[in-house]
Structure 1
Amino acid sequence: MNLISIRDLSPGEVEAILDRADELKARRCDPSARSILAGKSLAAIFEKPSTRTRVSLEVAMADLGGHALYLSTKDLQLGRGETIADTARVLSRFVHAIAARVYDHKTVEELGRYAEVPVINALSDLEHPCQILADLMTVRERFGRLAGLKVAWVGDGNNVCNSTILAAAMMGMEMAVAAPPGYEPDRKILDLAESLGGRTAVLADPLEAVRGAEVVSTDTWVSMGDEAEAAKRLGAFRRYQVNSDLLRHAKEDAIVLHCLPAHRGHEITDEVMDGPQSAILDQSENRLHSVKAVLERLLV
């Protein structure tokens, strides 16, 4: 089994992973957890640098008794022209799973096609399933449920937005996306969410999107690989900042999510990010616990 898309899991499997993540979080210091993945190894391939993805994968494997190898493309023959297929086949003879944080979604799909061990999408340009599991865990911690909640995404219709749309459709959540023209979510993702029974409103007005929302989520306006468009993007997204004025249109008990890193003063203000409605640090921590549950599910 691979985790290339959040759609590789059924709603029941998502709930089971979240249940297990809650258990692992509660018993973080339980030494018996170190036997869960004893003797297991994870190859973690990084085309893009990371803080949360790298640390969560390495600490998760260590906490569960396994071992993670950090592999940048400079450390692999991929950087000298070896095919993705050959890399997948060879790594499968050495390790028990492969995680890949890549630019092109096709790269992680090809790894999944040729590897003989589970492959985890640790971020691609299309989806970020590991992030959305942490987000769902955080939302469920705060509200005790997922179904029936409204999630408002404000900003770029990027990979995290795509996974949020799919997860919302799967888990019975209402979804509204506010994005400037030209930066809307992937059309195929929207169509897939609709086929799953999802309700996704794509709007130009961020006030309308957050109205009545329990969850308000955002991300950087300039992702890795978009740096050449920075000036253009900063201009296009100026109206899409998550600030206290915007948050007043959400429900009184709404929480704010940001997958980080944040560009304070751009997509989110200090007042909101450090304020009482922010669940961002819990969300970040939950990357660890949720990926532990994923690794256990795929490797045991």
Structure 2
Amino acid sequence: MAGTSLFDLGATGVERILETAQSVLETGFSTIVKHMHTLRVVGTFLHNAPPYERAVAQATAARLYSSHVDLSIHRDYALSDAEILSEITMASSATDLLLTSYTDPQTFGDGRRLTEKLPSVVSTPMISLADDIYGSQAALAELASVRRHLDRIEGRRIVICWGFGSRFVLPRTPHSLLILGAMLGAEMRVAAPPGFSLVRRAVREARKRAKTTSVVIEEIDSFEGAFEDA
């Protein structure tokens, strides 16, 4: 089936997702469950994913009264992309929805490339939770919280602080948050120490997809003062 990037949905599509998330928070899952009666089996295809992603997928499937099956490939040896795609194609045909999170930190970018290939070979609807470049589902959760507390995102100034901690993680959520925030019309500021700036392709994507040409995307290398006017 053909794939559609979350970014391709545009500001209107992303706003609808955030509105649906707000409705679920306010009314529980009862409202959405009646529209999901065909969602009987949810499959997950996870590779190097944080444990919470599996737990969240299982909990969500349970709240939707759906069964959850783990389609992750567990091998003691590496598989080629063709072998991975072949296995997941066969397994996913038994599901109604496929959730993926594929990260390969040793070959930065390969997880994204594999994720982009999946929609063309699987026959079931698919949602990418994350890969090694983008973490859009986590970014949507962050923006849903901003929207809930500030009422709107457009015109707000959002600061992304990354790289100042003692533990290095892939900046996939900051990448998606930067792009989605700009799409929704927020002024975006990225605070990261020297040498830890976000991947240039993500910054270019944010500038390209910004809601208007007046949307400000700023990068600074100091933690001090980063939040003063946010």
TM-score range (shorter-chain normalised) is 0.7 to 0.9
Give the match for residue 20 of structure 1. Answer: 20
Number of equivalent positions: 211
Give the match for residue 117 of structure 1. Answer: 124
Q: How far did residue 147 of structure 1 move?
A: 0.6
Q: Secondary structure in 2 aligned to 1:42?
A: strand
Q: Structure 1 residues 34, 50: closer, same or farther in 2, change over 3 A?
A: farther
Higher alpha-carbon deviation: 22-31 or 51-60: 22-31
Q: Pick from 154, 157, 162: which aligns with 2:175?
A: 162
Deviations 1:267-299 (A, max 9, x none): xxxxxxxxxxxxxxxxxxxxxxxxxxxxxxxxx
Counterpart check, 1:200 vs 2:217: yes
Aligned residues of 2:71 and 2:92 also touching (Cα < 8 A): no
Higher relative contact order structure (alpha carbons within 8 Å, sequence separation ≥ 6): 1
Give the match for residue 8 of structure 1. Answer: 8
Give the match for residue 47 of structure 1. Answer: 47
- Show structure 2 runs of 5+ residues with no match: 104-110, 164-169
Q: Pick from 187, 198, 217: which aligns with 1:185?
A: 198
Q: How far did residue 142 of structure 1 move?
A: 0.5
Following the alignment from structure 2 to structure 1, what is the Cα–Cα distance between the partners of residues 45 and 77? Answer: 10
Query: How many percent identity over aligned positions?
Result: 20
Give the match for residue 238 of structure 1. Answer: none
Q: Secondary structure in 2 aligned to 1:21?
A: helix
Q: Structure 1 residues 18, 78: closer, same or farther in 2, change over 3 A?
A: farther
- Whichever residue aligns with residue 54 of structure 2, its letter is R
Higher alpha-carbon deviation: 62-71 or 125-134: 62-71
Matches within 5 A, 1:83-232: 83-103=83-103, 104-156=111-163, 158-197=171-210, 198-213=215-230
Q: Secondary structure in 1 aligned to 2:93?
A: helix
Q: How far did residue 180 of structure 1 move?
A: 1.8
TM-score, reference length from structure 2 = 0.80
Following the alignment from structure 1 to structure 2, what is the Cα–Cα distance between the partners of residues 58 and 80? Answer: 26
Give the match for residue 66 of structure 2. Answer: 66
Tell me which stretches of 4 or more aligned residues in structure 1 moved more than 3 Å.
29-32, 76-82
Q: How far did residue 73 of structure 1 move?
A: 2.4
Q: How far did residue 39 of structure 1 move?
A: 4.8
Give the match for residue 257 of structure 1. Answer: none
Aligned residues of 2:49 and 2:102 also touching (Cα < 8 A): no
Following the alignment from structure 2 to structure 1, what is the Cα–Cα distance between the partners of residues 116 and 187? Answer: 28
| Greater helix fraction, Structure 1 or Structure 2 | 1
Following the alignment from structure 2 to structure 1, what is the Cα–Cα distance between the partners of residues 41 and 85? Answer: 20
Q: Structure 1 residues 78, 68: closer, same or farther in 2, change over 3 A?
A: farther
Following the alignment from structure 2 to structure 1, what is the Cα–Cα distance between the partners of residues 144 and 32? Answer: 23
Following the alignment from structure 2 to structure 1, what is the Cα–Cα distance between the partners of residues 171 and 116? Answer: 18
Following the alignment from structure 2 to structure 1, what is the Cα–Cα distance between the partners of residues 199 and 85? Answer: 27
- Whichever residue aligns with residue 128 of structure 1, its letter is G
Deviations 1:105-131 (A, max 9, x none): 112112123212222211111001111
Over aligned residues, Cα RMSD in angstroms?
2.6
- Whichever residue aligns with residue 193 of structure 2, its letter is P
Following the alignment from structure 2 to structure 1, what is the Cα–Cα distance between the partners of residues 181 and 32? Answer: 34
Q: Secondary structure in 2 aligned to 1:209?
A: coil
Matches within 5 A, 1:246-257: none
Q: Secondary structure in 2 aligned to 1:73?
A: coil
Following the alignment from structure 1 to structure 2, what is the Cα–Cα distance between the partners of residues 68 and 177? Answer: 37
Q: Structure 1 residues 150, 48: closer, same or farther in 2, change over 3 A?
A: same
Following the alignment from structure 2 to structure 1, what is the Cα–Cα distance between the partners of residues 114 and 221? Answer: 32
Q: How far did residue 77 of structure 1 move?
A: 11
Q: How far did residue 36 of structure 1 move?
A: 2.1
Q: Secondary structure in 1 aligned to 2:71?
A: strand
Deviations 1:172-222 (A, max 9, x none): 001111112221111111111111234221111122432211xxxxxxxxx
